[in-house]
Amino acid sequence: MEKTITLIRHGKTPGNSEKRYIGVTDEKLSKEGAAEIAAGLYPDCDILFSSPLSRCIQTANIIYPDKTPIIIDELRETDFGSFEGKNYKELSDNADYIKWIESGGTAAFPGGESMSDATKRTMIGFQKLIAESKNYKAIVAVVHGGTIMSILSTLFEGDYYSYHIKNGEGYTFDLSSDGLYHGLRTRSFIR
């Protein structure tokens, strides 16, 4: 049985609108973000997963009001450490931020996770999702931008940042019966 997996980035939050690093901060959707999600056209699903953070659960509940999302803690966003809640303008003179930028975004956030550590954690969560959904065909996970970038850069060719996606949008790909992932396509759900 071939499965379809759709990864949807949560709707816009106030911090997203201000281009802030909102990782482990449990921020809810903005009114605008909730309205955009409610107006979107999303695929049907047989089983629904979510990060434990409110913005993902709220997005999942708007899109799929008749489904209860299965929460997978490891699918949460990257811990941005001391950058949490700040934007690039506020950090532009910060020596740690400059070092992080110079690393190509691969260094650990001060007091937070590295891209590598976040990806390892995320892939543990993704394996839980695969195991939990073995009897379902249409799988959806409402997660974070970093979560999506971690999963796709591990499963497919491409740089981590090449998989960046806007709020409320996502990617769909197939899992064949022989365990191969293929057919990656970008999905624009917001109208």
pLDDT recorded at residue 62:
98
Q: Find all residues with CB under 8 Å of 105, minimum gap 6, and list them.
A: 115, 160, 161
Beta-sheet pairing, 47-50 with 138-143: parallel
pLDDT recorded at residue 70:
98
pLDDT recorded at residue 190:
82
In angstroms, the CA 182 to CA 45 distance is 19
**Distance from CA of residue 169 to its chain's centroid?**
10
pLDDT recorded at residue 1:
63
Q: Which domain holds residue 123?
A: 3-187
Tens digit of each residue's pLDDT (9 = 90 or more) over 152-180: 999 998 899 999 999 999 999 999 877 78
**Structural domains of the chain, count:** 1
For the chain (191 residues), the mean pLDDT of every run of 10, in chain order, is 92 97 97 97 97 98 98 98 96 94 94 96 98 96 98 94 96 87 89 72
Q: Any idea what DSSP says for residue 11?
A: P
pLDDT recorded at residue 54:
98
Contacts of 124-131 with CB under 8 Å at 24 or more apart are: 124/74, 125/72, 125/73, 125/74, 125/75, 126/74, 126/75, 126/151, 128/72, 128/74, 129/49, 129/72, 129/75, 130/175
pLDDT recorded at residue 2:
83
CATH code, domain with 68: 3.40.50.1240
